Amino acid sequence: MIDMKKPLSMQLDVSDFLPAGKEERQSLVVMRQSVSFWKDGLRRFRKNNIAMVSLAVIILVLIFAFIVPSFYPYTYEQQIRGSENLAPMQYSQQEIGLKAQGESVFPHFMGTDSLGRDTMIRLMMGSRVSLLVGIVASLMVLLIGSIYGAIAGYFGGKTDMIMMRVVDIIYTVPDILVIILLMVTLKFPLVNLANNMPGFDWINRIGVGLICIFIVFALLYWVGMARIVRSQILTLKEQEFVTAAKALGASNGRIIGKHLLTNCMGTLIVTTTLQIPSSIFTESFLSFIGIGVAAPMPSLGSMASQAIGGITSYPYRLLAPAIMISLIILSFNLIGDGLRDAFDPKLKN
């Protein structure tokens, strides 16, 4: 309350500091629960039917690729003698014989390939490889790109100049060419490392081809992310909460990790999601030209490549991986678009 008789008096009115009465308290009650950034974004995302359908598709594909194979009676490298080149749902002579004896034979939903391997399980494993490549590569891009971009943007000046020149150079490198080159040459040292050095045998378990792909993608694809994060940090670091954190004595690492990167979370999520389909795209390209994941491990690209020879007689062998890969890429693209509209509408160009 301002005392109207002495409007310029500095004296405080004691009555202003009395505990609030019931009515006053009522007026301070928040009319509506405040909506957090996440809730707001998720609400908008949930309203987007296309994105929700795509999310459901991806979840189904994830179940198909990671859970179903453990219950499946066939394995991806198992060659069933006498069951070569079966059409979908067809049984071989032996299997018909077994069935006549009253034993149950699990059907080959999509037939078998020329080596007698069940196409369905190979499709599942191929999808698993594609999804793994897409998701792991994107997470690595997220990690490297965001930290690099944040450091360049936060420190600015000479640091920024040098760091961004490096980004510029890698950005102008024709990526597919260097990826092919690295894939061709990296296999030898990796196989060497896995066989001769103790403690590195996990490389063989995951597969040299996959490790190669991860390394190569991590080396080349982070630059786009770094650029986006840097430009966000440049504007964010001028804001008051950063000054406040500095005044309170927060370290640079804490400011970057706790205050700056959490504030560009929307951009990070959207860019990472949109990175997934492009990694899957590149992986299928590499497997198709024969330098991706090593046999007998299937990949959707290598399955398609192998099916080309018999395209006239067995078109479904090509269609299955082709449809699968298009479905995965399409769904991730649509989820990415949905997330962008929900969390980061400014990013839309």
Partner 1 sequence: MLKYVIKRVLLSIVTLWLVSTITFTLMYLVPGGPFLSEKAPSAATLKAMNAKYGLDQPKIVQYKNYMVKAFFQGDLGPSLKQRGRTVNQIISRGFPVSARIGGLAILIALLIGIPLGSIAALNRGKWIDNVIIVFSTFGIAVPSFVVSVVLMVVLSVKLDLLPTYGLATPLHYIMPVLALSFYPASYISRLMRSSMLEVLGQDYMRTAKAKGLTQYVILFKHALRNAILPVVTYLGPLLAYTLTGSFIVEKIFTIPGLGSAFISSITDRDYPLIMGTTIFLAALIIVMNMLVDIAYKVIDPRIKLK
- Chain residues that interact with partner 1, rule: CB under 8 A: 165, 168-169, 172-174, 176-178, 180-182, 184-185, 188-189, 192, 277, 281, 284-285, 288-291, 301, 304-305, 308, 311-312, 315, 318, 322, 325-326, 329-330, 333-334, 348-349
Nearer to partner 1, 2 or 311 (CB): 311
The token pair that represents 204 in the structure block = 């063989």
The sign of the torsion formed by the CA atoms of 187, 193, 194, 200 equals negative
Nearer to partner 1, 67 or 295 (CB): 295
Distance of closest approach, residue 295 Cβ to partner 1, in angstroms: 14
Cβ nearer to partner 1, comparing 10 with 177: 177
Q: Cβ closer to partner 1: 245 or 322?
A: 322
Give the CA distances from residue 310 to residues 1, 85, 117, 123, 303, in Å, rounded to whole numbers and listed in that order.
89, 10, 16, 17, 12
80 phi, psi to nearest 5 deg: -90, 115
Which residues are within 8 A (CB) of 41 and not within 5 positions of it... i.e. 6 or more apart? 266, 339, 342, 343
Measure the CA–CA gap between 214 and 219, rounded to whole angstroms: 9
Choose between 35 and 166: whose C-beta lies nearer to partner 1.
Answer: 166
Sequence-ordered list of residues with C-beta below 8 angstroms from that of 53, at least 6 positions apart, any chain? 334
CA neighbor of 77 nearest in space, from 309, 292, 298, 294: 298
> How many residues are present in the chain?
349
Give least dist CB 308 to partner 1, A.
Answer: 6
CA distance 17 to 27: 17
Least separation in angstroms between residue 50's CB and partner 1 is 9
The answer to whether residues 274 and 292 touch, using CB atoms and an 8 Å cutoff, is no
* Shortest CB 281 distance to partner 1, Å: 6
| 126, 299 contact by CB (below 8 A) | yes
Closest to partner 1 by CB, 267 vs 302, is 302
Smallest distance from the beta carbon of 322 to partner 1, in angstroms?
A: 4
Cβ closest to partner 1, residue 179 vs residue 255: 179
What's the rounded Cα separation, in Å, for the pair 334 and 140?
22
- Least spacing, CB of residue 160 vs partner 1, in Å: 13
CB of 192 to partner 1, least distance (A): 8
